Structure 1
Amino acid sequence: MGVVRAASADADRSPKQDRSRATRRRLLEAAVACLAERGWSGSTVAVVAERAGVTRGAAQHHFPTREDLFTAAVEHVAEEWLTTIRRRERPLAPSGPDRTRAVVELLVEVFTGELFRAALHLWVAAADEPGLRPRVAALEGRIGREAHRVAVELLEADESAPGVRETVQGTLDMARGLGLATLLRDDTARRTAVVAQWSRVLQATLRA
């Protein structure tokens, strides 16, 4: 009888846990969208809750503070981005100039999307918010290290060779800079030319 009651309790908990996970995910996705569209000053817990279709109380149950919500949101989307990047590794060309160009384009694509725009607003806010700064600095460090590691894997780079580590990191820094330029205007033509040239520089370094 006790086994039956325990099984029934587990069955009752499962739908609740599923709903809780779904609510949490909606809040995270809404938070990223709000940051990208409204910036830090326009993105409050109430605004995010309304966009996610939940009450403010439900939002604060999952994320007690505004800082909890937005740092978790950027981390969540960054993890999804890294997962997507790994999935897209399979159709890449074998080692060589074509693969290098494809990887550079893939990385630049990330820095011209919603995630980068949202993260940028969070980074800027952290510069003026003492309570937010250490959390965002730690988050940026984790994302940066993981992005570098994924870039090395995709490029099949040997970082023991002179200059390779720095050039891979330069690729990420370059992609970030192109993302900033895209915030204000359509920079497609210049971005395409820069990506093509940088891909040749990177390939030469990897080959050497």
Structure 2
Amino acid sequence: MGVVTPRTATPPKQDRSRATRQKLLESAVACLAARGWSGSTVSVVAEHAGVSRGAAQHHFPTREDLFTAAVEYVAEERSVALRGLRPQGRAEAVAALVDLYTGPLFRAALHLWVAASNEPQLGGRVAELEARVGRETHRMAVELLGADESRPGARETVQGFLDMARGLGLANLLTDDQGRRERVVAEWAGIVDRALG
């Protein structure tokens, strides 16, 4: 009978590496949302993730590498959040879409936009990913709102609503005025419902 080697509880190296990379990306997003671009260094992200700076630099040799990957991560997470929405009715759809623009993923995306405007290494990638997320957001909004874009003004109504939601997300950076936001969302739910029939 052969010798039976006990299984170790330690995950394989490749799994640990993937987990470390995931922690770093999640931490980069959290740091961006909380501290902005200037406060989100590789050291800060590594500390937040609970890994050494060396481990962080193994996965992402430069700050630009880390945050370019974070751009892709944020775009994918925002897409996942969009696809996960299951509102019942237009009013709930309006509120759910606004929530996407006032949450931490959008806050991190805003900081990436600002950083991209000053960092050429990020600019092109952020613009490309935001265009993709923007198209997907519009497509999902059309679906969730039950909009018939063949009707005159329907496309503009959906886009105007999304622009308003983005504006609420921007305002939310400075103050969390939930009461005001709820009133605006309720009003927009009525506008969207009347405009889309």
Alignment TM-score > 0.5, same fold? yes
Find the partner of 2:43 among 43, 46, 63: 46
Which residue of structure 1 lines up, in the alignment, with residue 24 of structure 2? 27
Which residue of structure 1 lines up, in the alignment, with residue 15 of structure 2? 18
Please tell me the residue identity of whatever aligns with 1:128.
N
Which residue of structure 2 lines up, in the alignment, with residue 36 of structure 1? 33
Mapped contact 1:111–1:175 kept (Cα < 8 A):
yes
The 1:86/1:131 distance shift into structure 2, 3 A limit, reads: closer
Which residue of structure 1 lines up, in the alignment, with residue 179 of structure 2? 189
Distance 2:81 2:128 in 1: 23
Which residue of structure 2 lines up, in the alignment, with residue 7 of structure 1? none
Which residue of structure 1 lines up, in the alignment, with residue 79 of structure 2? 82
Aligned-pair CA distance for 1:45? 1.2
Q: Which moved more, 1:24-33 or 1:192-201?
A: 192-201
Please tell me the residue identity of whatever aligns with 1:164.
A
The 1:24/1:41 distance shift into structure 2, 3 A limit, reads: same
Q: Which runs of 4+ in 1 moved over 4 A?
A: none
**1:88-113 deviations in whole A, cap 9, x for unaligned?**
31xx32xxxxx111111111111111
Which residue of structure 2 lines up, in the alignment, with residue 100 of structure 1? 90
Distance 2:141 2:117 in 1: 27
Structure 2: stretches of 5+ with no match in the other structure? 1-10
The 1:205/1:71 distance shift into structure 2, 3 A limit, reads: farther
Mapped contact 1:34–1:43 kept (Cα < 8 A):
yes
Aligned-pair CA distance for 1:23? 0.9
Which residue of structure 1 lines up, in the alignment, with residue 54 of structure 2? 57
The TM-score with structure 2 as length reference comes to 0.86
Taking the TM superposition and a 5 Å limit, the aligned residue runs for 1:86-165 are: 86-89=83-86, 92-93=87-88, 99-165=89-155
The TM-score with structure 1 as length reference comes to 0.82
Distance 2:133 2:192 in 1: 22
Which residue of structure 1 lines up, in the alignment, with residue 168 of structure 2? 178
Structure 1: stretches of 5+ with no match in the other structure? 1-13, 94-98
SS at the partner of 1:111?
A: helix
Mapped contact 1:35–1:121 kept (Cα < 8 A):
yes
| Identity level (%) | 68
Paired positions, count: 187
Distance 2:103 2:41 in 1: 22
Mapped contact 1:71–1:139 kept (Cα < 8 A):
no
